[in-house]
Amino acid sequence: MLVLNAVPFMKPLHMRSPVPQGRRHTLPASEFRSLSPEDAISVFEIEREAFISVSGECPLHLEEVRHFLTLCPELSLGWFEEGRLVAFIIGSLWDQERLTLDALTLHKPHGTTVHIHVLAVHRTFRQQGKGSILMWRYLQYLHCLPYVRRAVLMCEDFLVPFYQKSGFKVRGPSEITVGPLSFTEMFHPVWGHAFMRRNSGY
């Protein structure tokens, strides 16, 4: 499992404040890490509550959550408070310019586009800015992956301003519909640091 302690926006181990003597430290107050199939039920419970009440549809069903957390756990990010999952993002790789129906269920290992399937926050922790913070950390992490060129997602119209605040741009109406729901496709350029170094002449 990939723990995001090595990426630039996390403090190096030697810079972290020592735990005071005499205090038993069991779980970090706040931890960001990639998810695993063992997290699937917690993920799905948060997702189901967040989406069913609003749109009546979940972006990913439980088996699809397990599917992506098995194939590409490194493209997920969970926010844990004292060991409890409070927010998460699940992504996979895609290899075409636009999202199609296949993008909802497939992971393309040689793709250079990260398709963000879902971002959800536990109901107890909403209206605290956690979704924006998690997306910022996720995008910073993607910048460290040399094979990633951009991130894409599709969302309902009322969520477009939220993603625009994170730097996403509108590409246009998505060709994907789910029942009566239609979506807007959005993208965010991402250039891995290793790719930039390799092509900068330095």
Angle (deg, nearest 10), helices 62-71 and 40-52: 130
Distance CA 62, CA 58 (A): 9
Distance CA 64, CA 15 (A): 39
**Of all helices (H) and strands (E), which one includes residue 103?**
none
Structure tokens at 124: 């107890």
Q: What are phi and psi of 7, to 5 degrees?
A: -80, 160
Torsion of CA 176, 178, 184, 190, to 10 degrees: -70
Q: Rounded to 5 degrees, what angle do the CA atoms 30, 131, 37 make?
A: 65
Active site residues: 92, 106, 117, 119, 163
